[in-house]
Amino acid sequence: MELFMFALLGLVSIGSSLAMIGHKNPVYSALYMVVTFATTAVMFVLLKAPFIAAVQIIIYAGAVVVLFLFVVMFLNLKAAVLLERRRGPLLLAFVLAGLVAGELAAVVATGAWPDTDEALVPPGFGSVASVATVLFTRYLVPFEIASIILLTGMVGALALARRESITPETAYDLRGPDGGREKPEAGDGGGPAGGPDASVEPAEREPVPIGVEVHR
């Protein structure tokens, strides 16, 4: 039963990862990513680590991909732009992927693979209590340092996103350096297919403050 579940989840997970990379539309790619995260979360449940499963869903599916969708919808990238392929990165990607594959093959061949049926972690590992105990005793200092780094990153992002000087005239002027004069091509925004309704200029959109607020 467990093996069957694992195989099914693995297939769905790999399939959706491939679809995520291959799909032309970034919104679909983001959705396939959610499917991948969800199947990974179910695998954590099968591994008796429900806490990690829940955190996987809350952080990755619930927050990170939502942010991706936000960015994709605001930028309204056209499929044609995204399909532009450049040689250099592709070559580098192949080299790196080859290296990883070789590394994996070497690990399996030399027998460094743990060959045991016994659990390598104590029972109860991955439950809320065990994660909390380890996090707040043994790894307390790294945990706090990580939180401070995250906080610094957040403050830094806010500082970068903020305009140099905000006056009442420029407070809602989020049109960019050219003052929004450049007219976007028709079918440049609004929705998936660039239909009749799709010519929303970015300038006309009400700025949606996400955390950062611009005061009038």
CB 174 within 8 A of CB 120: no
- The residues in 128-167 that bind other proteins, with binding defined as CB under 8 A, are 128
Which are the contacts of 54, defined by CB distance < 8 A and separation ≥ 6? 41
Q: Give dist(CA 54, CA 60) in Å, integer.
A: 10
Q: Using CB under 8 A as the criterion, what x/- string covers residues 92-131 for binding other proteins?
A: -----------------------------------xx---
Q: Give dist(CA 184, CA 194) in Å, integer.
A: 12
CB of 209 to other proteins, least distance (A): 6
Burial string for 95-128 (b: 16+ CB within 10 Å, else e) reads eeeeeeeeeeeeeeeeeeeeeeeeeeeeeeebee
Which are the contacts of 48, defined by CB distance < 8 A and separation ≥ 6? 126, 127
CB of 176 to other proteins, least distance (A): 18
User: Binding of other proteins at residue 190 (CB under 8 A)?
Assistant: yes
Question: Between vectors from CA 124 to CA 44 and to CA 8, what angle results, nearest 5°?
Answer: 25
Rg (CA), the chain: 23
Q: Which is nearer to other proteins, 6 or 68 (CB)?
A: 68
Q: Which is nearer to other proteins, 103 or 204 (CB)?
A: 204
- The residue range among 87-95, 98-106, 164-172, 192-200 that interacts with other proteins, by the rule CB under 8 A, is 192-200
Q: Give dist(CA 61, CA 33) in Å, integer.
A: 8
- Per CB under 8 A, the list member of 19, 23, 51, 130 interacting with other proteins is 51
Q: Which is nearer to other proteins, 9 or 53 (CB)?
A: 53
Question: Between vectors from CA 196 to CA 192 and to CA 201, what angle results, nearest 5°?
Answer: 75
User: Binding of other proteins at residue 197 (CB under 8 A)?
Assistant: yes
Q: Using CB under 8 A as the criterion, what x/- string covers residues 52-81 for binding other proteins?
A: -xxx-xx--xxx--x--xx--xx-------
Q: How many of the chain's residues bind other proteins (CB under 8 A)? A: 39
Contact set with other proteins (CB under 8 A) = 27-28, 31, 34, 41, 50-51, 53-55, 57-58, 61-63, 66, 69-70, 73-74, 127-128, 190-198, 200, 205-206, 208-211, 213
